[in-house]
Chains A and B, each alone.
Chain A
Amino acid sequence: MTIQIDRYISDNEIEAQAARILQQYGRHYKPIVAPPVPIEEIIDFAVDIPIVRDSISDVQGVQVLAKLVARGHPHPSIEIIVNEDKQLFFDQYMGTEQYSLAHELGHAVLHIDRGSLDTLLLPNTREQGIVLCRMSTEAEHDRNAKRRELQAERFAACILMPQDLLRAACAHVDIYRWPNLYSLKDQFHVTISALTNRLKELHLVTVTPDRKLMPYQDQLAAHSHSLWE
């Protein structure tokens, strides 16, 4: 029996799921009124998923920063494992650890049916578990896996850069200047690429091919001719 959910999930639904968790944390623990979003505490307290720092081996030559596993017998539970061998990398590149955690949380929220965890047949040991939502090499699964990854990425962006906090922060600075964006990404504890992607998705900026920041322009609207006057 699978506990994995493979389906189309709209961007709005992903945004709503992230907002729901942020509200849940705010209601029961501490309202989040300014960045950064405390993703570790949200996972630990509001969503109740243990975070364990452990060594993770490369998979087919690819480095793994974090993973989601189900562990325990006869009642499995899910855990997020963060690769402790990458701590230096996490410390060096601000935002990478937070993004990895938020990404795995995205899988847990969007792709795992936690109510059916008991149907998993796991080894009778605490040491072994199974990795959930791992990329597969099989063609059909690969398509689903890629979709899951994109959904988890979007979830990570939504929860680490909630619209209200991001729009409020953008209102006070000139977001068409790179130094200001670098300052913003430090405030939100995200990477510069995560921030610019989020700003583009929210139609707050456009990045030109020569890396200039411009106000958002709807290319389709600009080049289309209305059929009606």
Chain B
Amino acid sequence: MEFGRRLRDLRKQKNISQRDLAAQVGIDFTYLSKIEGGRLAPPSEDVIRHIAQVLKADEDELINLAGKVPKDLKAVLEENPQAVELLRVLSERKLPDETYRQMLNLARKSDTTPTDEQNKN
């Protein structure tokens, strides 16, 4: 689903008018109407998070729909070229959900924070 259409659905579910939402988020209501109408690209991540908070919606869902990479993930990708490679491989293959689950379990098991490492040593 498009970002604008989803945003309009969420806003309507909460019975909040375009003008009210725009005022609460601190943006112009004409700008919000253009985003909802698909005339403009989704706003910045900060604005999307603010909108999601006002609407009590899932911030990550809206950020994903906007085609944006959340700031924290962006930092991980910038620091770790292998993470980028892993994502690239994943995007090229159609893997079953089970494989994703196994990979997540593996990643969680081998999760070692700096404090753990120090404790071991």
Which A residues contact B (CB, under 8 angstroms)?
A: 29, 40-41, 44-45, 50-54, 79, 84, 87, 126
* Contact status B18-A44, CB under 8 Å: yes
* Contact status B39-A54, CB under 8 Å: yes
Contacts of A29 in B (CB 8 A): 15
Return the contact of B8 from the options A50, A54, A126 (Cβ within 8 A): A50
* Contact status B30-A45, CB under 8 Å: no
Other than the known A40-B18, A79-B37, what 14 A-B pairs have Cβ atoms closer than 8 Å? A29-B15, A40-B19, A44-B17, A44-B18, A45-B15, A50-B37, A51-B33, A52-B37, A52-B39, A53-B29, A53-B30, A53-B33, A54-B34, A84-B30
**What total of chain B residues lie within 8 Å of the partner, measured CB to CB?**
14
Return the contact of B12 from the options A40, A45, A54, A84 (Cβ within 8 A): A45
B70 within 8 A of A: no
Q: List 18 A-B contacts (CB under 8 A).
A: A29-B15, A40-B17, A40-B19, A44-B17, A45-B12, A45-B15, A50-B33, A50-B37, A51-B18, A51-B33, A52-B34, A52-B37, A53-B29, A53-B30, A53-B34, A84-B30, A87-B30, A126-B38
Contacts of B15 in A (CB 8 A): 29, 45
5 tightest A-B CB contacts, nearest first = A52-B37, A53-B30, A53-B33, A126-B38, A52-B33
In the complex formed, the residue of B with least CB distance to A84 is: B30
- B contact face: mostly helix, strand, loop, or mixed: helix
In the complex formed, the residue of A with least CB distance to B19 is: A40
Tell me the chain B residues, 35-57 only, with Cβ under 8 Å from chain A: 36-39
* Contact status A44-B12, CB under 8 Å: yes
**A89 → chain B, closest Cβ, in Å?**
14
Contacts of B18 in A (CB 8 A): 40, 44, 51
Contacts of A84 in B (CB 8 A): 30
Contacts of A51 in B (CB 8 A): 18, 33
